[in-house]
Amino acid sequence: MVENRNILLVEDDESLGYLLSEYLKMKQFDIVWVKNGKAALEMIQKDFFDLIILDVMMPEMDGFTLAKDLKKDFPEIPFIFLTSRSLKVDVLKGFSLGAVDYLKKPIDEEELVVRLNTLLETLYRSKTQDGTKKVNEYVIGDYMFYTERHEVVYKDGSIQKLTLRENKLLDLLVRKQGELCSHKEILHSLWGQNDFFAKKSLNVFISHLRKYFKKDPSIRIENLHNQGFIFKTGKI
């Protein structure tokens, strides 16, 4: 069974959104429901999701436009379409944008749960049991860092979930532990660009990571002025 089942539901219909979110919660999924594509992008910046369910016809940003942004900025997050747009051209477009499934409304809630469990189980196995890709685990002082689960776990068992970019940043810093990670390297890896606004965002993410590791003072993320950051553990 997949351990993490965090689902983002993007659906503007009040009745259907409420019905699906409540039903999936009953089936032990962790659901966040938003009503348009812009709100979805904001939520993805804040939290990690195992799968995203997209409607197509929504205000402010439609599902196809959101899918393009997901593939560009968050290619690791799988998504499916759940929509009344059932023409063949729409289905083909959905898959061409990278969807792992395309479901047509109305859909039976029990069928949706079966499809979600099957998809998540398949996606999880492809990441961890193909003989080459294994769950990466790092011992960092009094913490464990699980990259596939997007979690930092303290020795008392408390868990800090990481957003996608926090996870990427920490993974990069830890893999180069004791070495300089330049601003340019980090910004191009996480944001695809090296500009003022991306650098400001990077400083915010570094602050988040420092806070997550505050219980162990031997863990430091040192700032080399105008150069980059070095992740260090052990005696100061």
The residue from 85, 100, 128 where one domain ends is 128
Same domain membership, residue 115 and residue 24 = yes
Residues 122 and 148 in one domain: no
In CATH, what number is assigned to the domain containing residue 23? 3.40.50.2300
Q: What is the CATH number of the domain that holds 169?
A: 1.10.10.10
Looking at the domain assignment, is residue 1 inside a domain? no
Residue 41 shares a structural domain with residue 153? no
Distances from the Cα of 50 to the Cαs of 65, 72, 95, 116, in angstroms?
20, 17, 18, 10
49 with 117, same domain: the answer is yes
Q: Answer yes or no: is pLDDT of 120 > 70.
A: yes
Note whether 115 and 56 are same-domain residues. yes
Residues 64 and 102 in one domain: yes
In a domain, 219, yes or no: yes
pLDDT for res 143? 92
Inside any domain, residue 158:
yes
Would you state the pLDDT for residue 231?
Answer: 94
Which phi and psi (to 5°) does residue 198 adopt? -65, -40
- For 108, the 3-state DSSP assignment is coil
What percentage of the chain has pLDDT greater than the value 70?
A: 91
Residue 70 lies in a domain: yes
133 band by pLDDT with thresholds 50, 70 and 90: very low
**225: in domain:** yes
**Do both 10 and 124 map to the same domain?**
yes
Cis amide prior to 78 (ω within 30 degrees): no
Range of the domain at 73: 6-128
Q: pLDDT tens across 185-197, in order?
A: 888 887 776 666 7
Which of the four pLDDT bands, split at 50, 70 and 90, describes residue 18? Answer: very high
Instruction: For the beta carbon of residue 56, count every other beta carbon within 10 angstroms.
Output: 21
Strands (DSSP E) contained in 84-234 are: 101-104, 137-140, 143-146, 151-154, 159-161, 180-182, 220-224, 228-232
Query: Domain tally for the chain?
Result: 2
* Same domain, yes or no: 78 and 190: no
**How far apart (Å, rounded) are the C-alpha atoms in residues 222 and 225?**
10
Mean pLDDT of 39-66: 88
Of 128, 151, 185, which residue sits at a domain end?
Answer: 128
Does residue 15 sit in the same domain as residue 116? yes
* Alpha-carbon 41 to chain mean position: 11
